[in-house]
Every structure is written in structure tokens, then in C-alpha cells.
């Protein structure tokens, strides 16, 4: 028997619900269940060949040593080029940090900036890790509940009401995980005006899905839309989602040199630098042939449309049509209160997801994990055939409810 007691910062956080769901699916599959897994939040495509080839080249040519804390010269140039191309903003070396994935960069941002009692406004539905990363770093997550009528986007009035003298950050994720909704330029300008009126507040914009957009509009960065607050916007991105490089682990941030310096200081005392091999591959991803991105987005768009069509035809379910990313956030309030064939009453979205797993062998994640009930999130980063099979199984299960 161990007498080890985890530090309070560890006791304050919980396992990621998406990680737990994926683990449960793996266990069921290992025991022989045939599960239709719609939980996975990563592309089902392989990393582009030109990117893999660059990683192999880096290994063969000995690019396997430590790099600067904020990345190789080539990677920083690639990030600068990419940001200039997509936002029109030119960033210097002292405005760039790189890390082992966007998640690490966000975590180190909170480590570098939060003291006990500092508040971070997190609009819900939110990516499951934001509140726990804030709590682990002694901050206080302030959940700002958004409205389905506003497509789950925070409004200026809601934001203004949530800001207090202790507010340190607003977290803005668009396209969002789990809803996939995107802010327009005018909506970002309005948010920028609220932040301009509150000079003690910074904004962390998580733009990891900004290349996966389904309409004619592109994803506009807050730093671009609201230049008056640009020095208080930290833009976080990476190569995991757009380039199917989740396992390579490379994220980056651009923004205020003072914030970047603090993040890089922490980075120097944690992992020193990201993998040199991954940095070479990421530089190729950001500046090389972009045809993979265009092809994969076209496939995601087809899958989205099919998923919306099929789920929307099931009574009691109302999917939020995403502007980007590869998730469908489905309102399942119409199933709450109904009774399963075994006589159990579905009392919340957790019950709904367990019912779908038990009766339909379909794995999705409850909306309450993202701070919003009654919903569930399904990923369409999988084949059309899997989406169709999952939707059919969900339909048949729902038909058994009374």
C-alpha cells in the first residue's frame, strides 16, 4: 500500500472525458464488442507524404539534436510565413513559441500567467481540457454559458457581464470543438471592443481547426479583426488537425513578447524543445504543398452533410450544423424523459450516451463533458460508411424508446 498523496493541483483536475471514452471503447472492442466509434477527435487520414518524407530526411541527415527553445530558424520562418499569409500580420522571433502540441502551449500559457484566484472566462460548450488546465494552474474557470439561439457563440453583452477585476483571460476557440461554429469578422470586432474596454483582460484564441472550413468564408483571427487589442491576443495553432499530424506533437503560439518569453522560460525547464524531427516535418507542412488540406476538407464537408442529414431525420435529435472542424454537436433534449425497453428513464445526456452504447453499440460523448446539456458529440472524422452505420443504429435504438 502506497502512502503517496498527489499534489492538490492534480487532485483539482479530472481525466479528459474524451480520453476516458476512447479508453472505454478500446476495452469493449478488446472484449469482443463490435463498436461503432464516433468519439475520436483526430483525422482518419494519414500524414501527407511530403511531410513524412521531410521527417525521414531530417532523421537521415542528422537533424536529431536539441534546437532553440522557440524552435529552429526554419520552423519560425514557416510560422511567420503562414501567419502573414492567413492573417496579414507579421510576427517577429520574440513573438513565437513552439511546443509539444497546442495543448502543451496552452497549458504553459496558464502556468506562466495565472496566480491563485485569477479568473479565465471559458464559453461553453468548451473543449474539455480548458477548465482543468486553468484549475491545475491555480486559476478559477468561469464558465460562460452560451445560447443555442446564438449558435453557441458568446455575445458582447454576455462577455461584458462575465468580466470581473480578477479576469485574466478569455478563451476563444473557433471553429469550436465541439460545435464547429465560426465567428464572423463583425462578431470578432464586437468582442474586440469589449476587450478594448477592459485593458486587464487578454484573449487566448485556439485556432487549431482554422483550415477545416466548409463555407465560402475563411476563419478570421481575432488578432486580425481587432488590431486595437492585438498585443493582448495570444493566437495558438498547430499541425495536428489540418495536416493529420496528431502523433507528431507540434503546436505554436504567437503574440505579446512578454507572454512568449514567460512561456519559453517554462519550456526551457520542461521539455527544452519539441522534437527536432517533428519541427522539420511541421515546417514542410506549413509551407509545402497544401493540396492535402483542400482534399481532406472536401471529404469532411461531404461527411458533415451526410451526418447532418441522417441525424437530423431522427426524432428527438437536432444537430448543430458546423461551419468547420469535424464534429457534430447534437441536441438530444428530445430523448430526455423517455423510457428504454428495460424500463429505465433517460434522465440526462449521460444516460443517452450510455443507452446508445448499450443498445446501439455506438460510442459518442455526452455534452455535459463540454459544459452543455443535453447534447452529445459525435466525430465525423471517419468514413461515410461508418457514419451511415452509426446513424442507422442510433435511429433503430431511438425507435425503441417510449
| pLDDT, average across residues 224-235 | 98
| pLDDT value, residue 21 | 67
pLDDT at 94 over 80: yes
What are the cell numbers at 296?
481532406
pTM of the model: 0.95
| pLDDT value, residue 88 | 96
H or E stretch covering 225? helix 222-225
**What is 63-287's CATH topology?**
3.40.640
Show me where the domains of the chain are located: 8-46+292-398, 63-287
Contacts 24+ apart (CB under 8 A), 94-97: 94/257, 94/260, 94/261, 95/254, 95/255, 95/256, 95/257, 95/260, 96/70, 96/71, 96/252, 96/253, 96/254, 96/260, 97/70, 97/252, 97/253, 97/254, 97/260, 97/263, 97/264, 97/267
Percent of the chain with pLDDT over 70: 98
| pLDDT value, residue 9 | 86
What are the cell numbers at 227?
488590431
pLDDT tens string 175-214: 999 999 999 999 999 999 999 999 999 999 999 999 999 9
pLDDT tens string 358-392: 899 999 999 999 999 999 999 999 999 999 999 99
CA angle 210, 215, 217 (to 5 degrees): 65
38 within 8 A of 391, measured Cβ to Cβ = no
What are the cell numbers at 327?
464534429
On the question of a common fold for 8-46+292-398 and 63-287, the answer reads no
In CATH, the number for domain 8-46+292-398 is: 3.90.1150.10
249 within 8 A of 274, measured Cβ to Cβ = yes
| pLDDT, average across residues 161-186 | 97
pLDDT tens string 339-352: 999 999 999 999 99
| pLDDT value, residue 17 | 66
pLDDT tens string 18-52: 666 667 777 877 888 889 999 988 999 999 999 99
Lowest mean pLDDT among 15-29, 89-103, 271-285, 349-363: 15-29
Amino acid at each position: 500500500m502506497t502512502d503517496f498523496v498527489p499534489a492538490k493541483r492534480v487532485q483539482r483536475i479530472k481525466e479528459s472525458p474524451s480520453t476516458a471514452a476512447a479508453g472505454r471503447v478500446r476495452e469493449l472492442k478488446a472484449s469482443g464488442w463490435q463498436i461503432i466509434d464516433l468519439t475520436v477527435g483526430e483525422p482518419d487520414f494519414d500524414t501527407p507524404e511530403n511531410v513524412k518524407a521531410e521527417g525521414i530526411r531530417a532523421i537521415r541527415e542528422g537533424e536529431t539534436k536539441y534546437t532553440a527553445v522557440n524552435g529552429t530558424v526554419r520552423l519560425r520562418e514557416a510560422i511567420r510565413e503562414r501567419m502573414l499569409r492567413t492573417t496579414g500580420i507579421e510576427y517577429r522571433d520574440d513573438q513565437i513559441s513552439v511546443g509539444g502540441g497546442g495543448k502543451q502551449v496552452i497549458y504553459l500559457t496558464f502556468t506562466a500567467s495565472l496566480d491563485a484566484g485569477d479568473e479565465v472566462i471559458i464559453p461553453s460548450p468548451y473543449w474539455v481540457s480548458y477548465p482543468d488546465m486553468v484549475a491545475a494552474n491555480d486559476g478559477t474557470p468561469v464558465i460562460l454559458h452560451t445560447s443555442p439561439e446564438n449558435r453557441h457563440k458568446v455575445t458582447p453583452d454576455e462577455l461584458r457581464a462575465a468580466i470581473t477585476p480578477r479576469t485574466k483571460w478569455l478563451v476563444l476557440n473557433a471553429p469550436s470543438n465541439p460545435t464547429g461554429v465560426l465567428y464572423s469578422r463583425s462578431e470578432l470586432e464586437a468582442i474586440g471592443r469589449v476587450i478594448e474596454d477592459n485593458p486587464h483582460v487578454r484573449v487566448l484564441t485556439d485556432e487549431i481547426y482554422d483550415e477545416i472550413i466548409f463555407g465560402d468564408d475563411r476563419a478570421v483571427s481575432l488578432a486580425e479583426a481587432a488590431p486595437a487589442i492585438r498585443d493582448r491576443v495570444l493566437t495558438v495553432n498547430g499541425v495536428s488537425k489540418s495536416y493529420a499530424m496528431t502523433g507528431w506533437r507540434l503546436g505554436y503560439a504567437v503574440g505579446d513578447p512578454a507572454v512568449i518569453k514567460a512561456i519559453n522560460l517554462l519550456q526551457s525547464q520542461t521539455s527544452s524543445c519539441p522534437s527536432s524531427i517533428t519541427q522539420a516535418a511541421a515546417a514542410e507542412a506549413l509551407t509545402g504543398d497544401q493540396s492535402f488540406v483542400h482534399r481532406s476538407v472536401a471529404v469532411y464537408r461531404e461527411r458533415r452533410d451526410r451526418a447532418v442529414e441522417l441525424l437530423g431525420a431522427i426524432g428527438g435529435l437536432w444537430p448543430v450544423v458546423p461551419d468547420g472542424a469535424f464534429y457534430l454537436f447534437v441536441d438530444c433534449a428530445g430523448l430526455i424523459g423517455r423510457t428504454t425497453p428495460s424500463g429505465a428513464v433517460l434522465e440526462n445526456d449521460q444516460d443517452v450516451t450510455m443507452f446508445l452504447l448499450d443498445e446501439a453499440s455506438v460510442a459518442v460523448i455526452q455534452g455535459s463533458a463540454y459544459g452543455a446539456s443535453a447534447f452529445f458529440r459525435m466525430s465525423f472524422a471517419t468514413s461515410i460508411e461508418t457514419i451511415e452505420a452509426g446513424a442507422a443504429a442510433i435511429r433503430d435504438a431511438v425507435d425503441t424508446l417510449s
